[in-house]
Amino acid sequence: MEIRKLGKSGLLVPAVGMGTWRTFDIRGNGATANARLVVDSAISAGASFFDSSPMYGEAERVLGLTLKGRRNAVQIATKVWADTASRGWAQSKLSLLYFEGRIDLYQIHNLLNWKEHLEMIERLKDKGKVLAIGATHYSSHSFLELRRVMESGRIAAVQIPYNVEQREVEKDILPLAAELDLGVVIMRPFGGGNHLRRRPEESELVPLAPFGVTTWPQALLKWILSDPRCHTTIPATSKSQHVLENAAAGNPPWFGDEERKYVQRLAEKL
Ligand SMILES: NC(=O)c1ccc[n+]([C@@H]2O[C@H](COP(=O)([O-])OP(=O)(O)OC[C@H]3O[C@@H](n4cnc5c(N)ncnc54)[C@H](OP(=O)(O)O)[C@@H]3O)[C@@H](O)[C@H]2O)c1
């Protein structure tokens, strides 16, 4: 797995990490045992950068549980998502409990109440409990505000949606992130799974084999990661075999313009 510098955050992260929305919002021994297998596969494949949030129900708790005894083998990106400062502080206490006193990348989820939360996260960073600060938004309607936060000089990374069908960030956000040397984490690489419902013929993927791509999910991940402004992407999955398949897309060689356009054409046809 290629390891990349997450902009000026100082973190070194794998090109493919993992999200936990829905897939880790689970209860019960059977489901937790499955989540542990998924985490085992992610660690063994080097996809050891995990994104979570208090917004994802049980996900932070379950992720923390599956990491008992091996917290240092992974990096945790989680978020604060609260309408008041006091609720934000309460969330941070729980997150720090789940992740053994350290959050590698602490992000403001959907920019909710970001001014107050930024102060909180800066204080936690001063105490060594947070290594880097980020902000996320899933909607292009909020990209103007996201740009303001990026330009504040107080965050080191952004988490944004980017995939073959959702490319608004190409206009302003990716160029600004590159200019400011911000780390870029790409959420929703498969559009929440929608882009995997229909797939090209196997024969149509043959031209991508020299790039180590043999499946459609790998083509979609490599399309993202071949833009040098995108440092890591965090596909979510509940299946160990999908973790391994996805992680394999985190290795060079990377697509050039021609291959990226080819993948776009395949996606348009579906
Ligand atoms: N900050 C924000 O506002 C925000 C918003 C949305 C998401 N996020 C973050 O971004 C992460 C990723 O986004 P997402 O969860 O919405 O969607 P996604 O990663 O684009 O897609 C997830 C879906 O793809 C399927 N999948 C994954 N790998 C596969 C493979 N190799 N073959 C077939 N199916 C595969 C999964 O099903 P299986 O379980 O069957 O593999 C799952 O249903 C989230 O988990 C979360 O951490 C952040």
Q: Assess whether the C-beta atom of 88 lies below 6 angstroms from ligand 1.
A: no
pLDDT in the model for residue 255:
98
User: DSSP letter at 100?
Assistant: T
pLDDT in the model for residue 93:
98
Directed axis angle between helix 114-126 and helix 85-98, to 10°?
40
pLDDT tens-digit series, residues 50-81 = 999 999 999 999 999 999 999 999 999 999 99
pLDDT in the model for residue 251:
97
pLDDT in the model for residue 164:
95
Which backbone phi and psi does 183 adopt, to 5 degrees? -65, 145
Q: How confident is the model at residue 2 (pLDDT cuts 50, 70, 90)?
A: very high
Percentage of the chain beyond pLDDT 70 is 100
Average pLDDT, rounded, for the chain: 97
Across 140-268, the runs of DSSP E, i.e. the strands, are 157-161, 183-187, 232-233
pLDDT in the model for residue 28:
95
Ligand 1 center–CA 113 separation, angstroms:
26
Q: Assess whether the C-beta atom of 134 lies below 6 angstroms from ligand 1.
A: no
pLDDT in the model for residue 196:
96
pLDDT in the model for residue 36:
97
229 CB-side CA count, 13 A: 18
pLDDT in the model for residue 4:
98
Q: Assess whether the C-beta atom of 242 lies below 6 angstroms from ligand 1.
A: yes
d(CA 35, CA 55): 18
Directed axis angle between helix 257-269 and helix 216-225, to 10°?
130
pLDDT tens-digit series, residues 176-202 = 999 999 999 999 999 999 999 999 999
Q: Assess whether the C-beta atom of 20 lies below 6 angstroms from ligand 1.
A: yes
What is the pLDDT averaged over residues 160-179? 97
Ligand 1 atom at shortest distance from the alpha carbon of 53: 47
pLDDT in the model for residue 230:
98
> With the CA atoms of 51, 242, 247 and 196 taken in that order, what torsion angle do they form, in degrees rounded to the nearest 10?
-80
d(CA 8, CA 157): 8
What is the pLDDT averaged over residues 77-88? 97
- Domains (range + CATH), the chain: 3-197+229-250 (3.20.20.100)
What is the pLDDT averaged over residues 119-147? 97
pLDDT in the model for residue 265:
97
Ligand 1 center–CA 152 separation, angstroms:
30
pLDDT tens-digit series, residues 238-252 = 999 999 999 999 999
Is the Cα torsion angle 202, 206, 208, 212 positive or negative in sign? Answer: positive
- Is residue 174 a contact partner of residue 181, using CB atoms and an 8 Å limit? no
Ligand 1 center–CA 128 separation, angstroms:
30
d(CA 154, CA 221): 29
pLDDT in the model for residue 77:
98
Ligand 1 center–CA 50 separation, angstroms:
12
d(CA 157, CA 229): 12
What is the pLDDT averaged over residues 25-46? 97
Which residue has a Cα nearest atom 12 of ligand 1? 188
